[in-house]
Amino acid sequence: MQRLYDICFLSLYLIACNQTYCIYLSECKNRIFMNKPQLSGSRLAVTFLLILICFPCTFAKALPDEQAAKAIYNSISQELKDNAADTAKMREILLKIRRKRRKLENNYQPLMADFIEYCKANNNQPSLMKSLDYMGLQERYNEKYNSAFLYHQQSLTIALDLQDSNQMCYNYNNLGQVYRKQDLYTLAVPFFYKALAIQERLKDTKGASYTHNTLGATYLAQQEYAKALYHLSASNQMALERNDKRTMSFNHGLIGEIHLQRLQPDSALVYFQLALELKKKLNYDKGMAVTYHLMGIAYYQKEDFQQAIDLFGKAIEIHERYKTKRYLSLCHAYMGKISLKKNDLSKAEEELKLAEQMAQDVHSIEQLIIINEALTELSKLQSNWQNAYLYQQQTNQWKDSINAAKYRKEIQSLDINYQTEKKEQQIKILSADNEIKNQRLRLGFAVIFILILMLAFVLFILKVRKRNAHQQQEKLRQQLLKSLMNPHFIFNALGSIQNYMYKNEPKAAARYMGNFARLTRSILNNSSNDEVALIEEIDTLKNYLELEQMRVNKAFDYSIDYTEDLETEFIQVPPMLLQPFIENAIKHGVKHLSENGQISLHLNEENNYICAIIKDNGIGINSTCQTSNEEHKSKATEIFNQRMAIIKNDIPNLPAPEILDLSDIGGQGTQVKVYLPILN
C-alpha cells in the first residue's frame, strides 16, 4: 500500500510542475515492475484513477496550450511560405506575429527568425528593418543584451538607407535601452538624445515625453540630479497635456528616487504616494510593486523598520508573481539590512544569501556589491574576519570588473558610432551626386518646359487651395457633429443634479457632479482629437454608463469586456462613435424596465477592424420605433451617418452597422454591431 501512495505522490508532483507525463510513466515502470513485491493491476488502476479525480483539468489543459501555440506557428509559417514575395502581405503577417506573440509562447522567436530569413531572401527591406527591431526587443526582454544590440544596429542600418525617421527614432531609443539595462548610462545617453532630436523635428510629443522620462531616469542613475529634474519636468508637462497617467506616475516615482538618493525620505514619500495612487487607478501592479519597494527604502532611511518590512512584503508578493529576480534581490537585500539593524544575524544571513543568489542569476553586479557590503558587515558582527575579508575582496573585484566592462563597451560604442556616421556620410554623398545629376537634367529641359511648368504651377496652387478648403470644411463638420452630441446629455445631467439637491441629498449630488465633471472633461478632450486610444474611449463610455446608472437609481447593470489580446493602449479609433448606441440602449431599451436592466459592450478585433457589440434586454428596436421620439432618433442617426460618411472617405470598405431585434430570434432586447476603424 505504501508503494501505491509513493506513486500517487510522484505523479501529482510531476503534474503540478507541468512535466512530461512519460517521465512519470517511466518512474512507475521502474518502481512497479523492477522492484518486488509488484503491485497488482487493480492497484495500479486505482493509482491513475486517484490522479484523474484530483487533477481533472491538468491533462486537458497543458497539452492543448502547447498544441494551440504550435497550431498558430504552423498556420503563420504556411502564410510566410505562400506570401514571401508579397510586400504588402508580409507587413500584415508581421503585425499578426506581433499581436499573437503571447499565444505563440516559445514559438515566437523561431517564427520571427523565419520571417527575417524570408525578408532577406526576397530583399524586403522595410519588413526586415522592423522584424530585426522586434527581435532585438525580445532579446532585450530575455536579457541577451549583446544579440539585442546587434539586431537593433542592423535595423538602424536599414533605416538609414531608407531614410525612415520614425524607425531611426525607435532604433536609437532601443539601442540606448540596451545600454541602460546594463547600467552603462554614459553610453546610453547619446542614443536617447538622437531619438529626442528626431521626435522634436517630427513634433511627436508623445514619443518626446517618453524619451524625456528615460533621460531623467538615466541622469538619476548617474546622480546628475539637476539634469534629471529638467527632463522629468519636461516629460511631466507633456504627459499632463495628454492626460497620460502612466507616464506621470513614472515621473513622480523618479522624482521621489531623486529625494531618496539625497537622503530626503519624507519628500520622497510624497512623490511615491502620488505615483502609487496613479498606478492603482491604472491597475498597474508591476509598477505598484516597484513603488512599494522604493517606499520601503524610504522608511528604511527613516529607521521605521516595521513600515519598511510591510512595504517590502507587498513588493515581494507581486515581484514573485512576475518572477522579477532583479527587484526581488533588492527587496531581500534590504530585508537583510533591516535584520542587521535589529541584530537578528541569522535572519540577516538568510535574506542576504537569498538576495545574492538572485542577483547572480540576473548578473546584477551593482546589487551584488550592495549585498556583499552587507555580508561584510554581517561577518564582522559574527567575528568571522576571514569571510569579511573575502567578501570585501570580492566587492573590489566586482567594482574593477564594472570599470573594465565600461571600457569595453565604450570602445564598442565608438566603433558603432563611427560605422553609423560613415553610413550617414555615404548617404549624404550619394544624395549630393543625385542632386547634381538632377540639376543638369532640369537645366537641359528648362527652356522647353518653362511654359508647361508655369501652367502646372497655377493648376497646382488652385488644386491645393481647393483641397485645403475641403479638408477644413470636413474638420469643421466633424467638430460640429461631436459638439451636437453633448448638449442633450448635459441638460439631463444638470437636471439630475438639481433633483438630488431638491431632495436634500448633497452627498449624492456631489458624487454625481464629480462623475459628471470627469466625463465632461473626457468628452471635451476627445472632441478636439480625430483619434483616441481605445482604452480612453472605453473609460469614457464607462463614466457615461455610471452616470446614467446613478440617474435611474441603478435600474440597470452594465458590463464592458474585450478579448485579452486586444492592445487597447496602442490601438487608435475615432472618438465618441459608440456613445449614441449606448444612449439609445439606455433611453429606448431598458428605459421601460424598473429593475434588472442589462446593457453589455463587447469589443474584439475582426478583419482589421474593432467590432463593438452592444446588447440590451429592453423592449426591442421594433417596439421602440413605434413608441419613441422619431425626431430624436433620426437626428442621432443622421449625426452618426454623417460622421461615418466622412470616415469612409479614407476607409471606403468600413462595414455598416448591423441592428437586430433579439425578439426576432427568440430573445429579448436589441443588439447593435458597429465596426470601428483602427487608425494607426
- At 483-505, the pLDDT tens digits run 545 566 677 777 778 877 888 77
Q: What is the mean pLDDT of residues 77-96?
A: 92
Q: Are 238 and 212 in contact (CB under 8 A)?
A: yes
Q: Are 330 and 289 in contact (CB under 8 A)?
A: no
Encode pLDDT of 190-206 as tens digits.
999 999 999 999 999 99
Amino acid at 551: R
Domains of the chain: 2-56 (no CATH), 160-406 (1.25.40.10), 485-677 (3.30.565.10)
DSSP string, 95-163: HHHHHTHHHHGGGHHHHHHHHHHHHHHTT-HHHHHHHHHHHHHHHHHTT-HHHHHHHHHHHHHHHHHHT
Torsion angle, alpha carbons of 420, 423, 429, 430, to 10: -140
Residue scoring higher pLDDT (346 or 34) = 346
- The mean pLDDT value of the chain amounts to 81
Q: What is the mean pLDDT of residues 136-143?
A: 91
Question: In the numeric block, which cell numbers belong to residue 30?
Answer: 521502474
Range from 31-45, 202-216, 579-593 that averages highest in pLDDT: 202-216
At 361 the pLDDT is 87
Predicted TM-score (pTM) of the model is: 0.49
Cα 1 to Cα 4, 32, 439: the distances in Å are: 5, 12, 95
Percent of residues, the chain, with pLDDT higher than 70 = 81
Q: Which of 168, 108, 90, 100 is nearest to 133 (CA)?
A: 168
At 12 the pLDDT is 43
SS3 560: strand
Residue scoring higher pLDDT (583 or 132) = 132
Q: What is the mean pLDDT of residues 34-48?
A: 45
- CA separation for the pair 64, 87 (Å, rounded): 33
Q: What is the mean pLDDT of residues 559-583?
A: 88
Q: Are 348 and 340 in contact (CB under 8 A)?
A: yes
Q: Are 156 and 175 in contact (CB under 8 A)?
A: yes
